[in-house]
Amino acid sequence: MDIKKINMEKTTKKEEKMSFSVTGMTCATCVKTVEKALSRLEGVKFAAVNLATSTGFIIAEKEIPFEVVKKAVEEVGYGVSEESPQEIEEKRYRETKKSLILGWLGTLPIAVLMLINMLMFKIQNFEFFELFVGGFVIFYAGRKTIKGAWIALTHKHTNMDTLIFFGSVASWFTTLLSIIGIPIASFGAIGAMIMTFHITGRFIESHLRDKAAKEIKALLKLQSKEATVITDKGEILVPIEAVKEGFTVLVKPGERIPIDGQIIDGVSGVDESMITGESIPIQKSVGEEVIGGSLNLTSPLKIKVTKVGEDTFLAQMIKLIQQAQGAKVPIQALADRITMWFVPSIITLAVLSSVIWYFNFERFSPFIESASKFIPWITMGSDPLTFSVFVFVATIVIACPCALGLATPMALVAGTGLAAKRGLIIKNAEAIQTAKEVKYVLMDKTGTLTEGNPKVVEHNLSEEEFRVISGIEKNSNHPLAKAVSSFVESNLKPDYIEEIPGQGLKAVVGENEYFIGRPEFPEKYTGYLESGKTVIEVYKNKDLLGYIVVEDPIRADSRSAVKELKNMNITPVMITGDNQKTARAVAKFVGIDEVYAQVRPADKLDIVRKYQAKGMKVVMAGDGMNDAAALKGADVGIAIGSGTDLAIDSADIIITKGGVYRIVDAIKISKKTFRVIKQNLFWAFFYNVVAIPMAMAGLLHPVIAEIAMAISSITVVLNSMKISRTKLYEENEDNKGSVLKCCE
């Protein structure tokens, strides 16, 4: 097992997150072994390792050097790789493919000869051929499995490799015992078949897992390896790691934009579909932001670098998806508890059943004779020792817990992949399990139900005063403030400024004190408010200076989203700091019946608690800093990606493209993912509950047991991949509109 650090991210003054990639795991027991080692580190509050994605994640109270993590992994018998996860995966794929070819080159002839020897005529010295070819397949083609089992055993724990090791090596030893004269049937060929089927299952499983994670791999492919930097000496092509903030890069038509930045020269169409989902190219010009990974289509662009490395939008998306895929959901705790004692219990059962058969073979022989009429391979067991080994190997092989270990993480990989494709970045994997139970969806108005791109449509201020107000509003990220500051250009810098969440801005400019915020008596502006517009009042030295009227179009998908939520028996609720009349007008248009207006930020959290007190799961969706507490307090917090950093940091899910209809998608993906998790766990448990007693009763051939085990793992992966093919309801084009059109 190898482990590679990806990042150490500071989340608070006392909390650190480290995510890393892990390779070489074979089952859930491996996962628990690494988790235990990491959890024992001083300061670690939480540790999780994911089998399907080969990723791990820890949260610590302090910064933990990577060398400490490395040592913890090495102490439980595993290695550390400095290669990238992609390089590790490619290397493992090549090695598995080589082992697969070697395994079948040895197994096919030995299997054919075994059948001839059993059914047609005895082949002289076949057992010697069986010993050497079987040994080659088991100990050379299957050396990775043998090594994994040996590491586990020498560190006093077990895993799936342990079961394959015992099954295949025990079978091979029967050939050796038979050659030296002990009366026992030779199972050497069966040992080779067990190992080869195991390698084959691993190869298919790896291929399917790679396919299931195609969304994250598509994002990784967008990351540029080089950039053309403009310097005093001309254009220089440099590795992307050498590009720094403030550099100027040249992006020619047809090239991918390598980093996040601002255009300083040029006008071009930019395709951002792989990142934002917007299929129509966007015309970008001087002063506009561009995202690394998007495609420059028509003309050269000179871009000033504003973000590099892990700070870029694309890197953040990839990191969040990887962390979510590497995390766990509560239902996985059940599977984890079972797998901890599963392998040792199976070894114990296999030994007990073989011992019981050995000493009671004569008593149970009538049962064997009856069963052999329907199950032909049982006739192989003609003496107590042979049959007891037959039972031991079959029980060991049939019980490999690979399907159990993959049941939850594979569904998570597919679910988070589908979510990413739909413009949803799931930061907290637990949200996948919680969202399916949601009964209330609470939504902010501005920037959530509306586009968050309001425009000033009327005001009664002088040009000079508006310029002052514009200079003040430049210091706020609130959508309404941006509308005001973009209406009139201003370079004014206030002497003092304070943002009061849910109220407005207080500022001092020279000798004057200003307040820009919600009206004290909104009834004065009834006409504007009933048409869905928002009014901002401006005070100078506590005297009313004037007002500004702002209009924010409703998102195109808001009405269809509300309608679909109601169809799902989920109650949509609007919570806004805006006045009653504007809130009611917007709510009526989109179809929301429950409205809370003129709500302060602290009150939003109280409203969330109010619905939770009914015993219901609650989603809160918002985009502003005044939504942060409610996003954190809700069962599932969903932030609009264009919102403030505080809102995004407080959320469990981020919408990176589209509007509020993505909330519907999130809930549907949650339901589908959890349904698949339950199906996977059911079949994994059912398979073992049925198959283990059959093997202990001597009714399963070891080769058939190995094939069944491999099929069960592949079935779990294939069932999980159904999630990525889920058809999600698309927004109704007829429901598109704006407040201005519907409310005038």
Over residues 455-473, the pLDDT tens digits come to 898 899 998 899 999 999 8
586-615 tens-digit pLDDT: 888 899 999 998 888 778 888 988 998 888
What gap in Å lies between CA 710 and CA 359, rounded to an integer? 32
What gap in Å lies between CA 536 and CA 539, rounded to an integer? 10
Q: How far is CA 609 from CA 97, 594, 713, in A?
A: 55, 16, 42
- In 3D space, the residue among 143, 153, 146 whose CA is nearest the CA of residue 33 turns out to be 153
Which segments of 591-660 does DSSP mark as H helices, in order? 601-612, 628-633, 645-650
- In 3D space, the residue among 578, 557, 584 whose CA is nearest the CA of residue 732 turns out to be 557
User: In CATH, what number is assigned to the domain containing residue 584?
Assistant: 3.40.50.1000
- In 3D space, the residue among 723, 19, 48 whose CA is nearest the CA of residue 413 turns out to be 723
CB 569, CB 441: distance < 8 Å: no
Please report which confidence band the pLDDT of residue 726 belongs to, taking 50, 70 and 90 as the band edges. Answer: confident
Whether residue 593 is found in the same domain as residue 656: yes
- In 3D space, the residue among 39, 68, 43 whose CA is nearest the CA of residue 336 turns out to be 39
Please report which confidence band the pLDDT of residue 218 belongs to, taking 50, 70 and 90 as the band edges. Answer: low
The pLDDT, as a whole number, for residue 320 is: 60
Highest mean pLDDT (candidates 279-283, 423-427, 674-678): 674-678
In sequence order, what are the residues at sequence separation of 6 or more whose Cβ sits closer than 8 angstroms to the Cβ of residue 509? Answer: 468, 471, 472, 492, 494, 495
Q: What angle do CA 651, 656, 660 make, to 5 degrees?
A: 75
- In 3D space, the residue among 151, 158, 155 whose CA is nearest the CA of residue 342 turns out to be 158
Phi then psi for residue 21, to 5 deg, are -100, 145
Please report which confidence band the pLDDT of residue 433 belongs to, taking 50, 70 and 90 as the band edges. Answer: confident
The pLDDT, as a whole number, for residue 340 is: 66
Please report which confidence band the pLDDT of residue 336 belongs to, taking 50, 70 and 90 as the band edges. Answer: low
Please determine, for residue 501, whether its predicted confidence score (pLDDT) is greater than 60.
Answer: yes
Q: Where are the beta strands (DSSP E) in 614-690?
A: 617-622, 636-640, 653-655
Between 11 and 372, whose confidence is greater? 372
What gap in Å lies between CA 415 and CA 433, rounded to an integer? 11
Please determine, for residue 643, whether its predicted confidence score (pLDDT) is greater than 80.
Answer: no
In sequence order, what are the residues at sequence separation of 6 or more whose Cβ sits closer than 8 angstroms to the Cβ of residue 585? Answer: 529, 530, 531, 532, 739, 743
Tell me the DSSP string of 685-707: HHHHHHHHHHHHTT-S-HHHHHH
Between 452 and 294, whose confidence is greater? 294
Model pTM? 0.63
Tell me the DSSP string of 40-71: TSTTEEEEEEETTTTEEEEEESS---HHHHHH
26-41 tens-digit pLDDT: 666 777 788 888 888 8
Whether residue 248 is found in the same domain as residue 203: no
CB 637, CB 651: distance < 8 Å: yes
User: In CATH, what number is assigned to the domain containing residue 480?
Assistant: 3.40.1110.10
Whether residue 490 is found in the same domain as residue 430: no
What's the whole-number mean pLDDT along residues 239-247?
Answer: 80
Please determine, for residue 677, whether its predicted confidence score (pLDDT) is greater than 90.
Answer: no
Cβ neighbour number for residue 245 with a 10 Å cutoff: 14
What's the whole-number mean pLDDT along residues 250-261?
Answer: 86
Question: Can you name the residues that pair with 546 across neighbouring β-strands?
Answer: 538
What gap in Å lies between CA 350 and CA 339, rounded to an integer? 17
Lowest mean pLDDT among 79-93, 474-488, 648-662: 79-93
The pLDDT, as a whole number, for residue 233 is: 72
Boundary (domain end) residue, out of 35, 61, 82: 82
The pLDDT, as a whole number, for residue 28 is: 66
What's the whole-number mean pLDDT along residues 521-546?
Answer: 87
Residue 273, token pair as written in the block? 């579909």
Q: Would 17 be classed as within a structural domain? A: yes
The count of domains in the chain is 5
Query: For the chain, first and last CA: distance in Å?
Result: 65
Please determine, for residue 268, whether its predicted confidence score (pLDDT) is greater than 80.
Answer: yes
- In 3D space, the residue among 30, 50, 65 whose CA is nearest the CA of residue 152 turns out to be 30
Please determine, for residue 733, whether its predicted confidence score (pLDDT) is greater than 50.
Answer: no
Boundary (domain end) residue, out of 269, 288, 311: 311
- CA 507, distance to chain mean position in Å, is 43
User: In CATH, what number is assigned to the domain containing residue 260?
Assistant: 2.70.150.10
Please determine, for residue 69, whether its predicted confidence score (pLDDT) is greater than 50.
Answer: yes
The pLDDT, as a whole number, for residue 254 is: 83
- CA 74, distance to chain mean position in Å, is 27
- In 3D space, the residue among 386, 357, 352, 339 whose CA is nearest the CA of residue 162 turns out to be 339
Between 239 and 472, whose confidence is greater? 472
- In 3D space, the residue among 177, 181, 183 whose CA is nearest the CA of residue 384 turns out to be 183
Please determine, for residue 245, whether its predicted confidence score (pLDDT) is greater than 70.
Answer: yes
What gap in Å lies between CA 222 and CA 245, rounded to an integer? 20
Whether residue 94 is found in the same domain as residue 124: yes
**For the chain, how are helix, strand and coil distributed in percent, rounded to 5?**
55, 20, 25
Q: Would 600 be classed as within a structural domain? A: yes
- In 3D space, the residue among 126, 136, 128, 152 whose CA is nearest the CA of residue 191 turns out to be 136
Between 319 and 656, whose confidence is greater? 656
Whether 552 sits among the annotated catalytic residues: the reply is no
Whether residue 564 is found in the same domain as residue 430: yes
Helices and strands (H, E) in the chain, number of each type: 26, 26
- In 3D space, the residue among 73, 67, 68 whose CA is nearest the CA of residue 3 turns out to be 73
Highest mean pLDDT (candidates 276-290, 308-322, 550-564, 712-726): 550-564
Q: Would 743 be classed as within a structural domain? A: no
| Helix 66-75 / helix 28-39 crossing angle, nearest 10 deg | 130
User: Across the chain, what does the average pLDDT equal?
Assistant: 79
Q: Would 342 be classed as within a structural domain? A: no
CB 169, CB 153: distance < 8 Å: no
Q: Would 609 be classed as within a structural domain? A: yes
- Compute the CA torsion angle 702, 703, 705, 711 (nearest 10 deg): 160
- CA 569, distance to chain mean position in Å, is 27
User: In CATH, what number is assigned to the domain containing residue 63?
Assistant: 3.30.70.100
Element (H, E) at 425: strand 424-426
Whether residue 69 is found in the same domain as residue 112: no
Whether residue 98 is found in the same domain as residue 166: yes
DSSP classification of residue 458: E
Boundary (domain end) residue, out of 551, 578, 612: 551
What gap in Å lies between CA 502 and CA 733, rounded to an integer? 33
Please report which confidence band the pLDDT of residue 385 belongs to, taking 50, 70 and 90 as the band edges. Answer: confident
Q: Would 289 be classed as within a structural domain? A: yes
- In 3D space, the residue among 714, 703, 712 whose CA is nearest the CA of residue 193 turns out to be 703
CB 633, CB 622: distance < 8 Å: no
- In 3D space, the residue among 180, 182, 177, 150 whose CA is nearest the CA of residue 166 turns out to be 150
Whether residue 414 is found in the same domain as residue 560: yes
Element (H, E) at 228: strand 226-231
Please report which confidence band the pLDDT of residue 568 belongs to, taking 50, 70 and 90 as the band edges. Answer: very high
The pLDDT, as a whole number, for residue 5 is: 39
What gap in Å lies between CA 740 and CA 528, rounded to an integer? 10
Return the CA Rg of the chain. 32
Q: Where are the beta strands (DSSP E) in 530-613?
A: 534-540, 543-551, 571-575, 594-596
What gap in Å lies between CA 703 and CA 708, rounded to an integer? 9
Q: Would 294 be classed as within a structural domain? A: yes
Whether residue 440 is found in the same domain as residue 494: no
The pLDDT, as a whole number, for residue 596 is: 92
- In 3D space, the residue among 58, 56, 54 whose CA is nearest the CA of residue 25 turns out to be 54
Length of the chain as a residue count: 744
What gap in Å lies between CA 674 and CA 336, rounded to an integer? 17
Per the structure, the complete domain to which residue 197 belongs is given by 84-212
Lowest mean pLDDT among 57-71, 167-181, 554-568: 57-71
Whether residue 63 is found in the same domain as residue 199: no
Catalytic residue among 161, 444, 552, 635: 444
The pLDDT, as a whole number, for residue 84 is: 57
Please determine, for residue 52, whether its predicted confidence score (pLDDT) is greater than 50.
Answer: yes
What gap in Å lies between CA 311 and CA 331, rounded to an integer? 33
How large a percentage of the chain has pLDDT more than 90?
12
How large a percentage of the chain has pLDDT more than 70?
80
The pLDDT, as a whole number, for residue 328 is: 55
In sequence order, what are the residues at sequence separation of 6 or more whose Cβ sits closer than 8 angstroms to the Cβ of residue 539? Answer: 514, 515, 516, 545
Lookup result for tokens 């097992």: 1
CB 630, CB 604: distance < 8 Å: yes
The pLDDT, as a whole number, for residue 50 is: 67
Residue 351, token pair as written in the block? 């030994």
121-159 tens-digit pLDDT: 778 888 898 899 999 999 999 998 888 888 878 877 777
Q: Would 418 be classed as within a structural domain? A: yes
Question: Can you name the residues that pair with 509 across neighbouring β-strands?
Answer: 512
Whether residue 616 is found in the same domain as residue 658: yes
What gap in Å lies between CA 197 and CA 713, rounded to an integer? 12
Question: Can you name the residues that pair with 17 across neighbouring β-strands?
Answer: 9, 59
What gap in Å lies between CA 516 and CA 504, rounded to an integer? 6
What gap in Å lies between CA 521 and CA 397, rounded to an integer? 77
Whether residue 462 is found in the same domain as residue 484: yes
105-117 tens-digit pLDDT: 998 998 888 878 7
Strand, helix or coil at 607? helix
